[in-house]
Chains A and B, each alone.
Chain A
Amino acid sequence: MGILFATPWIFGFLLFLLYPLVASFGTSFTNYSILRPPKWIGVSNYRELAQDAVFHTALKNTLVYVIGAVPLGTVLAIALALLLNSRVKGLPVYRTLLFLPTLVPMVAQATLFLWVFNGDYGILNAALRGLGMNPPNWLGDPGWAKGTLIVLAGWGCGQAMVIYLAGLQNVPVSLYEAAELDGATAWQKTRNVTLPMISPVIMFNVIMGMIGAIQVFAVPQVMFPGGAPARSTYMFAMYLYDNAFLFQRMGYASAMAWVMFVIILLLTLVALRISDRYVHYETN
């Protein structure tokens, strides 16, 4: 009976996960343009990846993005969740306003921020010039373009924020009262009670955030086609997509996809290992 209930997923797993997983692994050893049958070429694709300068650039860009976006998103989300966890008036309003950006479709986000970051007419530069600074052209400067993507990631931290908020509200009040009796300050309470109690949530969000950030595609694709300027915003998934559907090199793209998968597995393992030390589980 249990298996019967699980059949949709069993089918889904086999059809949309296991089969493509195995198939793409096989394809990664071929030269496949989908208009012609695949041709076996052994480890050629992987060897080519090791020497592909554009692949290295895309990898580096993606790593920089992950290192920027995940901590920023986490810190912001936790900080905002802590603020929202207090007993002040008007919470629903603040909560809605802070969550609003996550509702914006990625294409719309990209379009909007193309406008906000515009070097000449954007409000950001207008504000900075008003403060007397001489701001760079964010979108056209290879040194700053990635930064705009990271800022966007922070802007969209509402989803994680809401999850943290739920986690915060599950922390037993008795623990706070006990800490207060010991004379703890607000910061000490946060550090010794709050953070440990929501550490499983932090771990979950950080891992999911990492997995998502490595695959980032829609926003940079719309804001910076081709990874302009000078490929500074060319991300892993963008190069993959270009190889699969623009250059018709599906075998090469599959090899790239598996490299991405392995990287994610390694990073997740590292995260889990670290979390063993720091994450505190409530024993029920």
Chain B
Amino acid sequence: MTPRFALGILVAGTVVVGAATMGERIVARQGNTSRTTVIYWEKWTGKEGEDMRKVVDAFNASQDRILVHYLSISGVDQKTLLATSGGNPPDIAGIWQDQVLQFADNGALMDLSPYARATGVRREQYIPAYWDPLTDRGHLLALPSTPASITLHVRPDLVPAQFASPETFPKTLEGLDALSDQITRRSKNGSLELAGFLPSNPGWWNWAWGPLFGADLLKGGRPTLNSPEMIRAFTWTGSYAKRYGSQAVQTFQSGFGNFSSPQDPFMTGKVATELNGVWKANYINIYRKELKWFAVPFPYPADRPDLAGHSILSQDVLVIPRGAKHPREAFEFIRFVQRQDVMEGLCLSHGKTSPLQSVSEEFFRRHSNPQIRLFDALARSPQAITLPHTGMYPQMGAELGNAFQEVNTGSKTPRQALNDAQRRVDGLWEIYQTQVVNP
């Protein structure tokens, strides 16, 4: 063995042993403190992340037993699930309401009820539409961090004068359709320049079109994707692709800038109206402060005035994954966030509504959204639409999204697409019942 060879082996061996023992620890260094460290994974970056970080700092400063460590994680829901499966979860995860029941069904979440009872967190303190979806068979699975209501935003400068105010804007979907057709404009070569309304923009709530037409996604406790209201809803969304040209719409949309940038389609005037959430005002204030806009409750089908005042509700939530090392301390932080002053401060900075029943006048006064009262009223309305309450929602959502795309690209009729989705969901439901719910 030549000396050079032996040296090579020694170097390689040192590198290996060194990296093996220190490798990721060099990179994922964590401070050593006498306080209990609680790891908190959250989806928010940028300004929203900073706002939450301020809450974390306030909590850390308010006591000396617990240190919450805030981490921005992209794809936080997937990562949390993977980490929980791998036996290495964070103590708190900030996920979306969409997956709470699914995670719980798979045994990935801790039951928060005993902690809530011990610290005086009760249902009466919350708007029911935000509390109820987070419970299942008597167990509390999550608590809200920032909720939102979602409805139609309008640019009065792109809409004919007689409709350019909240009072005069069309109240029915038929009115919206006619208005949109009037507004939509093409350039000389046939491509779209301005669209009155596009159901596919931003395309984040395809599960909700049916309920906006009065459909019940869990009729009789079973996922129902092909009820008459659902077919009617998807016929309506598909009609836009038909009228404006499916390919033209796709090409038009592929050129839309990011919602968190000055190139946002609503802000740059590529669409005159847009279904979006209460947080939109925040972004407009940052990127196009001088923009004039207003919001109205989403229009309803003319023959269903009982649906008036409806909007879509969503929320960001906080959960404690199973296997978390410090659940009690983790809940102390979550409890802190639920305090009215803290919650209002957080929701103010994010431009969202508050999930609590009691709201202070100051919240409304200081809110960045000039129409916050409308969004708050929409959240309290009995017509508010929330996610179907089942752990199978992610699959339902995937099927509905798929059906939406199929109808939009014209590859299937609404009836076909929804019947296929229904058939598939029926099969999944059976399996879900036998394998997950009652194993």
| A–B touching in complex (CB under 8 Å) | yes
Which A positions have Cβ atoms within 8 angstroms of B? 31, 33-36, 39, 41, 48, 51-54, 118-121, 136-137, 139-142, 226, 228-231, 245-249
In the complex, what's the smallest C-beta–C-beta distance from A37 to chain B, in angstroms? 10
Q: Nearest CB to that of A234 among chain B residues?
A: B402
| CA distance in complex: A130, B400 (Å) | 38
- Among A34, A121, A141, which residue has its beta carbon within 8 angstroms of that of B250? A141
Contacts of A31 in B (CB 8 A): 435, 439
Q: SS class of chain B's interface: helix, strand, loop or mixed?
A: helix
Given contacts A119-B255, A120-B252, A120-B254, contact A137 B401 (CB under 8 A): no
Whether A246 pairs with B394 at a CB distance below 8 angstroms is yes
Whether B107 pairs with A142 at a CB distance below 8 angstroms is no
Which of A35, A48, A141 lies at the interface centre, i.e. has the most chain B CB atoms within 10 A of its CB? A35
Of the candidate stretches B81-89, B114-122, B213-221, B369-377, the one touching chain A is B81-89
Q: Nearest CB to that of B323 among chain A residues?
A: A35
Given contacts A31-B435, A119-B254, contact A245 B107 (CB under 8 A): no
Q: Which 7 A-B pairs have the closest CB atoms?
A: A120-B255, A119-B254, A140-B250, A137-B250, A230-B405, A119-B251, A35-B107
Which of A31, A34, A231 lies at the interface centre, i.e. has the most chain B CB atoms within 10 A of its CB? A34
Whether A248 pairs with B106 at a CB distance below 8 angstroms is yes
Q: Nearest CB to that of B404 among chain A residues?
A: A230
Whether B427 pairs with A248 at a CB distance below 8 angstroms is no
Whether A247 pairs with B395 at a CB distance below 8 angstroms is yes
B420 within 8 A of A: yes
Chain B 70-87 per-residue mask, 1 if CB under 8 angstroms from chain A, else 0 = 000000001001101100
| CA distance in complex: A35, B104 (Å) | 11
Q: Nearest CB to that of B255 among chain A residues?
A: A120
Which B positions have Cβ atoms within 8 angstroms of A? 78, 81-82, 84-85, 106-108, 247, 250-255, 322, 394-395, 398, 401-402, 405-406, 409, 411, 420, 423-424, 427, 431, 435-436, 439
Contacts of A231 in B (CB 8 A): 402
Whether B439 pairs with A53 at a CB distance below 8 angstroms is no
Contacts of B435 in A (CB 8 A): 31, 41, 249
Given contacts A33-B106, A226-B401, contact A245 B81 (CB under 8 A): yes
Contacts of A51 in B (CB 8 A): 427
Contacts of B424 in A (CB 8 A): 53-54
Contacts of B82 in A (CB 8 A): 245
Whether A119 pairs with B250 at a CB distance below 8 angstroms is yes
Contacts of B250 in A (CB 8 A): 119, 137, 140-141
Whether A226 pairs with B398 at a CB distance below 8 angstroms is yes
| CA distance in complex: A248, B432 (Å) | 12
Contacts of B394 in A (CB 8 A): 246-247
Q: Nearest CB to that of B107 among chain A residues?
A: A35
11 contacts between A and B (CB under 8 A): A33-B107, A35-B84, A36-B107, A36-B439, A53-B420, A136-B247, A140-B251, A141-B250, A142-B405, A230-B406, A249-B435
Known: A121-B254, A137-B247, A226-B401. 16 other contacts (CB 8 A): A34-B85, A35-B85, A35-B108, A39-B439, A53-B423, A118-B255, A137-B250, A140-B254, A142-B409, A229-B405, A229-B409, A230-B405, A246-B78, A246-B81, A248-B108, A249-B435
Q: Nearest CB to that of A125 among chain B residues?
A: B251
- Among A52, A137, A230, A246, which residue has its beta carbon within 8 angstroms of that of B402? A230
Contacts of A228 in B (CB 8 A): 405
In the complex, what's the smallest C-beta–C-beta distance from A245 to chain B, in angstroms? 6
Q: Nearest CB to that of B392 among chain A residues?
A: A247
Given contacts A39-B439, A230-B411, contact A248 B251 (CB under 8 A): no
In the complex, what's the smallest C-beta–C-beta distance from B99 to chain A, in angstroms? 9
Contacts of A54 in B (CB 8 A): 424
Q: Nearest CB to that of B256 among chain A residues?
A: A120
Q: Nearest CB to that of B85 among chain A residues?
A: A34
Whether A48 pairs with B431 at a CB distance below 8 angstroms is yes
In the complex, what's the smallest C-beta–C-beta distance from B286 to chain A, in angstroms? 24
Contacts of B406 in A (CB 8 A): 142, 230
In the complex, what's the smallest C-beta–C-beta distance from B14 to chain A, in angstroms? 20
| CA distance in complex: A96, B253 (Å) | 37
Q: Nearest CB to that of A35 among chain B residues?
A: B107
| CA distance in complex: A41, B247 (Å) | 46
Q: Nearest CB to that of B253 among chain A residues?
A: A140
Contacts of A41 in B (CB 8 A): 435
Q: Nearest CB to that of B403 among chain A residues?
A: A230
Contacts of B254 in A (CB 8 A): 118-121, 137, 139-140
Q: Nearest CB to that of B82 among chain A residues?
A: A245
In the complex, what's the smallest C-beta–C-beta distance from B72 to chain A, in angstroms? 20
In the complex, what's the smallest C-beta–C-beta distance from B81 to chain A, in angstroms? 7
| CA distance in complex: A35, B402 (Å) | 29
Q: Nearest CB to that of B412 among chain A residues?
A: A230
| CA distance in complex: A249, B251 (Å) | 37
Q: Nearest CB to that of A117 among chain B residues?
A: B254
| CA distance in complex: A120, B106 (Å) | 42
| CA distance in complex: A228, B411 (Å) | 13
| CA distance in complex: A217, B420 (Å) | 26
Q: Nearest CB to that of A122 among chain B residues?
A: B254
- Among A35, A53, A119, A226, which residue has its beta carbon within 8 angstroms of that of B106? A35
| CA distance in complex: A223, B156 (Å) | 36
In the complex, what's the smallest C-beta–C-beta distance from B24 to chain A, in angstroms? 20
Given contacts A31-B435, A245-B81, A247-B395, contact A52 B252 (CB under 8 A): no
| CA distance in complex: A118, B250 (Å) | 10
Which of B82, B84, B409 lies at the interface centre, i.e. has the most chain A CB atoms within 10 A of its CB? B409
Q: Nearest CB to that of B248 among chain A residues?
A: A137
Given contacts A39-B439, A119-B251, A137-B247, contact A230 B409 (CB under 8 A): yes
Q: Nearest CB to that of B103 among chain A residues?
A: A248
Given contacts A35-B108, A245-B85, contact A137 B251 (CB under 8 A): yes
In the complex, what's the smallest C-beta–C-beta distance from B278 to chain A, in angstroms? 26
In the complex, what's the smallest C-beta–C-beta distance from B412 to chain A, in angstroms? 8
Contacts of A226 in B (CB 8 A): 398, 401
| CA distance in complex: A228, B409 (Å) | 12
Whether B85 pairs with A248 at a CB distance below 8 angstroms is yes
Which of A39, A121, A248 lies at the interface centre, i.e. has the most chain B CB atoms within 10 A of its CB? A248
Contacts of B322 in A (CB 8 A): 35
Whether A120 pairs with B251 at a CB distance below 8 angstroms is yes
| CA distance in complex: A36, B439 (Å) | 10
In the complex, what's the smallest C-beta–C-beta distance from A91 to chain B, in angstroms? 34
Whether A141 pairs with B427 at a CB distance below 8 angstroms is no
Contacts of B405 in A (CB 8 A): 142, 228-230
In the complex, what's the smallest C-beta–C-beta distance from B408 to chain A, in angstroms? 8
| CA distance in complex: A262, B423 (Å) | 28
In the complex, what's the smallest C-beta–C-beta distance from A80 to chain B, in angstroms? 32
